[in-house]
Amino acid sequence: MAIQLKLKKGESVERGLKRLKKILDKEGIIKTLRDQRYFEKPCVKARKKSARARIRSRSRRRMQEL
């Protein structure tokens, strides 16, 4: 999967990089690279996943109460 980004006429390089970062973030490529940087035991991954789910469910419950 190759991502190509062509600068528009009169567009600065900084602006092009900003667009590229936005595309990579939307695709989830940066997140997967950061996750794969170091090995993580499956039990640790599961613990983190359940902790994130708990936080999400708490915040959803609080929003429903309001």
Report helix, strand or coil for 14: helix
Q: What is the pLDDT of residue 2?
A: 82
The mean of the pLDDT values for the chain is 92
CA 28 to centroid of chain Cα atoms: 5
Q: What is the mean predicted confidence (pLDDT) over 45-53?
A: 96
* Rounded Cα gap, residues 62 and 2, in angstroms: 42
pLDDT-based confidence at 43, cuts 50/70/90? very high
Cβ proximity of 53 and 61 under 8 Å: no
pTM strictly above 0.85: no
pLDDT-based confidence at 11, cuts 50/70/90? very high
**Rounded percentage of the chain residues whose pLDDT exceeds 70:** 98
Alpha-carbon radius of gyration of the chain: 18
The residue ranges of every structural domain in the chain are: 13-65
